[in-house]
Amino acid sequence: MEFLDSAFMQRALLAAVLVGITAPAIGIYLVQRRQALMGDGIGHVAMTGVGLGFLLSTSPVWMAMAVSVVGVVIMELIRWYGKTRGDIALAMLFYGGMAGGVMLINLAPGGSTANLQSYLFGSLSTVSQSDLVSICVLAGFVAVVTIGLRRQLFAVSQDEEFARVTGLPVRVLNLLVAVTAAATVTVAMRVVGLLLVSALMVVPVAAAQQLTRSFAATFAIAVAIGVTTTLGGTITNYYVEIPPGATIVLLTIAAFIVFSLIATPLARRRARAAASAAGDPAECAIPGRIPGQAKAEV
């Protein structure tokens, strides 16, 4: 456990844990409402914020947060009003955000696209003390929203029309999900990078739901996968010179594959247990055929 001794590694591990918790925690609602790629879009928009941060010599983290919040509010407005060709409007927003980022960073004194590198792909070793404070504050906000309002967010993400009739403030909650997703992108930016952040929001949820039947269990397992893979990637990065962001994302995909392989026999066993609990045979009783035995003559 020698890696715990260095200050930069302590910061990196704390940042990794926070990202491992928050990204799947908000990602599950995005997956539930079938907006799995929203995190990717926010990541593109956040690039303009990073560029603006360099240009104005302020914190890129907070500028990225501000710009991506503006971006998600526009996305939500498009969703409300411009139902026709909403996908085109979103595409313009995403790529406009990316182009804006590249443009602004080149306009910044002494800035070049090379500065973007650590934001695009993450750079754990350069997480500073002040970055860490920002990450902690934002992660706290994300955790309070995603856990504290889980029933409301579940209802709105499951069935917006029904949620309205339960009297929930649907638009406010939709905006809150979007703003929380923007905060998560900003938190994860330094760890996995803007281009890979969406993977950490979506893949742990996709992996978890291979095994689960309930939302609560999916939430818990997705967060567990998130924390395990971010920690795994960070620690690996200490020993081996490989990019941590890419390592983390590949680990989540590995988790997805393993869980998918376990899923089929597990589902079969559950079906059998459910059938025996209900007193039904697991297979159809075809006259002249012994259950469990394959058809002999074809």
Contact between 203 and other proteins per CB under 8 A: no
Among the listed ranges 4-12, 104-112, 123-131, 211-219, the one in contact with other proteins (CB under 8 A) is 211-219
Among the listed ranges 7-15, 59-67, 92-100, 149-157, the one in contact with other proteins (CB under 8 A) is 149-157
Contact between 106 and other proteins per CB under 8 A: no
Q: Distances in Å between the alpha carbon of 174 and those of 33, 37, 40, 237?
A: 10, 16, 18, 37
Contact between 212 and other proteins per CB under 8 A: yes
Can you tell me whether residue 224 is helix, strand or coil?
helix
Among the listed ranges 93-101, 179-187, 193-201, 214-222, the one in contact with other proteins (CB under 8 A) is 214-222
Contact between 262 and other proteins per CB under 8 A: no
In the complex, the smallest distance separating the C-beta of residue 44 from other proteins, rounded to whole angstroms, is 22
Can you tell me whether residue 18 is helix, strand or coil?
helix
Contact between 165 and other proteins per CB under 8 A: yes
8 Å CB contact between 19 and 188: yes
Contact between 163 and other proteins per CB under 8 A: yes
In the complex, the smallest distance separating the C-beta of residue 258 from other proteins, rounded to whole angstroms, is 18
| Rg, C-alpha atoms of the chain | 22
In the complex, the smallest distance separating the C-beta of residue 61 from other proteins, rounded to whole angstroms, is 29
Contact between 145 and other proteins per CB under 8 A: no
Burial code of 134-157, b = ≥16 C-beta within 10 A, e = fewer? bbeebbebbbebbeebbebbbbbb
Among the listed ranges 2-10, 33-41, 65-73, 283-291, the one in contact with other proteins (CB under 8 A) is 33-41
Contact between 167 and other proteins per CB under 8 A: yes
Helix, strand, coil abundance in the chain, percent, nearest 5? 75, 0, 25
Residues 221-260 contacting other proteins, CB under 8 A? none
Distance of CA 281 to the CA centre of its chain: 41
In the complex, the smallest distance separating the C-beta of residue 25 from other proteins, rounded to whole angstroms, is 12
8 Å CB contact between 91 and 99: no
Per-residue string for binding with other proteins, 263-292, x by CB under 8 A?
-----------x------------------
Contact between 295 and other proteins per CB under 8 A: no
Cβ contacts of 191 within 8 Å, gap of 6 or more: 15, 16, 19, 122, 124, 127, 230, 234, 244, 245, 248
Per CB under 8 A, the list member of 123, 157, 198, 247 interacting with other proteins is 157
Q: At 132, give phi and psi (nearest 5°).
A: -65, -40
Per CB under 8 A, the list member of 66, 108, 140, 160 interacting with other proteins is 160
